[in-house]
Amino acid sequence: MLARHADPIAAIATAPGRGGVGIVRISGKNLAPLIEAVCARSLKPREATYLPFRDAQAQPIDQGLAIHFPAPHSYTGEDVLELQAHGGPVVLQLLLARCLEAGAAICVRVAQPGEFTERAFLNDKIDLAQAEAVADLIDASTEAAARSASRSLSGAFSSEIHALRDALIHLRMLVEATLDFPEEEIDFLQKADAHGQLSKLKHTLAGVMRRTEQGALLRDGIKVVIAGQPNAGKSSLLNALAGAELAIVTPIAGTTRDKVAQTIQIEGVPVHVIDTAGLRHSEDEVEKIGIARAWTEIEAADAVLFLHDLTRAGGADYQAADAAIAALLTEKLPPRVPVIDVWNKADVEATAPAAGLRLSAKTGAGLDTLRRKLLEVAGWQSAPEGVYIARERHVQALRRVDAHLSQAETQLAAQAQMLDLLAEELRLAQNALNQITGEFSSDDLLGVIFSSFCIGK
């Protein structure tokens, strides 16, 4: 634990701006002198008391509720004081300044971003996955994301990780016992069905990985880029998906010169849709820059909507240009990125090639099919009620666990000759699990995670 973690900290815990109520939060050891100075009395534990908050001359700054949570029964595990005042920014700044002044003797300082939640983690009130869920709950933009973050905060995700870890520790114990007592005639591993235990562990891990990938998708969403020739209806499609006139639409080819982005929600999954400049050869310097930016966005996409114009589908020049774009997409995109062929202007032209989706950005026909297709290519399978929020680092950690367990299977099949390597793979798998909940984490990792929080958390 770093030296700064011993300092009492204070911060405004509500969002910037005006509101009916604002909160100043203080956490640290032995807050009694500060409480006496600001509240002019002691407070009963966990009982809201209405009183004036006093300045250094004993004059009231404001009146509100004061609540004292003695350690260890608080959010941070330390003594916590919450002062609930009127939510004007000047009032809250005056109250925070008074707390810093009154707490000077015990070295109270302004909290860093996420430091309250960091202390909750360091004091074993929550684990690292739950701490991240606090930020995800605050940032949730949909009901599904909020409910999933709440499940992670309550420990649903952590419980699954702990169950995996406990099973892994038991298997490690058997392997270590075999290594420690090689002269024993009893084959510990065979008797304890180590093969069966490892297979069951991998099966359980596979289920956790599926749910974690769904949770990461619910949190981060997917980036979808609309690409195609000019005047195929890319901007119209963005407007139709977003339900708003975000991009300028005209019959003039090359109207879109730069990307236009909008995040939409499909069954609670964020889909970041990006409209790009039409792909063609151009001598116009501004349009060339727009086309270059379009390819940059395409190369970073999770999925590409290759939009075609049904009304021009029979033209030889149009087909040749589409074929050239398709070849470049194949060249520039990794195989994992799906390219969805979408044929627009179905309200004008009735026939369409067999491959691809047929829709009308003008009338909205076919948009629901496209939305379902986007969820399909994203890998969305679970209903929101069964998903806990997760992050990409959780997904990557579980993939490392899976890789180590696969290696462990290979070593176990070799029996005694490879038991030391088997033990090492199991140890590495456990380390990867521990990184999710924070039983083993570097200070650098903690700094990155908690720095993304707001000040009052």
In degrees, rounded to 5, the angle at the alpha carbon of residue 227 between the alpha carbons of residues 305 and 243 is: 65
**Confidence (pLDDT) at 15:** 86
From CA 120, how far away is CA 129, in angstroms rounded?
12
Question: Which residues participate in the annotated binding site for K(+)?
Answer: 231, 250, 252, 255
The 8 Å CB, 24+ separation contacts for 47-54 are 48/84, 53/83, 53/85, 53/95, 53/98, 54/98
| Amino acid at the residue 49 | T
| Amino acid at the residue 243 | G
Mean pLDDT across the chain: 86
From CA 426, how far away is CA 410, in angstroms rounded?
12
* 155 and 238 co-located in one domain: no
From CA 69, how far away is CA 362, in angstroms rounded?
58
* 230 and 206 co-located in one domain: no
397: in domain: yes
Query: Which tens digit of pLDDT belongs to each residue from 395-418?
Result: 999 999 999 999 998 888 776 556
Overall number of domains in the chain: 3
**Confidence (pLDDT) at 143:** 81
pTM comes to 0.77
**Confidence (pLDDT) at 248:** 46
* 339 and 281 co-located in one domain: yes
Q: What is the CATH number of the domain that holds 8?
A: 3.30.1360.120
From CA 75, how far away is CA 400, in angstroms rounded?
32
- The range of the structural domain enclosing residue 371 comes to 221-378
The residue with tokens 């639409």 is 249
Question: Which residues participate in the annotated binding site?
Answer: 25, 82, 125, 231-236, 250-256, 275-278, 344-347, 457
Question: Which residues participate in the annotated binding site for GTP?
Answer: 231-236, 250-256, 275-278, 344-347
* 182 and 245 co-located in one domain: no
Radius of gyration of the chain (CA): 29
* 166 and 212 co-located in one domain: yes
Question: Which residues participate in the annotated binding site for Mg(2+)?
Answer: 235, 256
Question: Which residues participate in the annotated binding site for (6S)-5-formyl-5,6,7,8-tetrahydrofolate?
Answer: 25, 82, 125, 457
* 111 and 145 co-located in one domain: no
* 197 and 265 co-located in one domain: no
* pLDDT < 70 positions in the chain: 1-3, 180-189, 244-258, 350, 352, 354, 382-386, 415-418, 440-457
**Confidence (pLDDT) at 385:** 62
**Confidence (pLDDT) at 453:** 63
* 68 and 105 co-located in one domain: yes
* 32 and 119 co-located in one domain: yes
